[in-house]
Amino acid sequence: IKILNIIFSLTSVFLCYLIVKQLFKSEKKALIACFLAATYPAFISYTSVNCSENMAMPFFLLSIYFFIKVADNSKPLYYLIFSGICVSIGNLFRMVAIIMIIAYIMYIILYFQKKWVNKVKGISFILISFAIPLVLVSYSLKTLNITEYNLWRGSESKWTSILKGSNMEHFGGWNEEDAQIPNKYNDDYDAVEKACKEIVFDRLTKNPLPKVIGFYATKYGAEWMEGDFAGTYWAKYSLEENSLGYKFASQFGIIANFFYLGLLIIICIGLFNKKQYLKNYPLNLLYIILIGYICFYIIIEKQNRYPFIVSWVFLILPFTINLERKKRNSL
3-state helix, strand, coil in the chain (%, to 5): 75, 0, 25
Q: Are residues 126 and 233 in the same domain?
A: yes
Q: How far is CA 120 from the centre of its chain?
A: 26
Burial 34-49, CB ≥16 within 10 A → b, else e: bebbbebbbbbbbbbb
pTM of the full structure: 0.92
* Residue 204 domain boundaries: 156-208
Q: Are residues 142 and 160 in the same domain?
A: no
- Long-range contacts formed by 185-191: CB under 8 A, 24+ apart: 187/155, 187/156, 189/156, 189/157
Domain assignment present for 214: no
Q: Are residues 88 and 118 in the same domain?
A: yes
pLDDT truncated to tens, each residue of the chain (331 aa)?
688 999 999 999 999 999 999 999 999 999 999 999 999 999 999 988 888 999 999 999 999 999 999 999 889 999 999 999 999 999 999 999 999 999 999 999 999 877 899 999 999 999 999 999 999 999 999 999 888 888 988 888 999 999 999 999 999 999 999 999 999 999 999 999 999 999 999 999 999 999 999 999 999 999 999 988 888 888 777 677 777 777 777 788 889 999 999 999 999 999 998 888 788 899 999 999 999 999 999 999 999 999 999 999 999 999 998 766 544 454 4
Q: Are residues 55 and 82 in the same domain?
A: yes
Q: Are residues 91 and 42 in the same domain?
A: yes
Q: Are residues 78 and 134 in the same domain?
A: yes
Domain assignment present for 253: yes
- Asked if residue 293 lies in contact with residue 310, where contact means CB atoms within 8 angstroms, the answer is yes
Domain assignment present for 217: no
The residue count of the chain comes to 331
Q: What is d(CA 141, CA 210) in angstroms, rounded to the nearest whole number?
A: 46
- Domain total for the chain? 2
Q: Are residues 204 and 308 in the same domain?
A: no
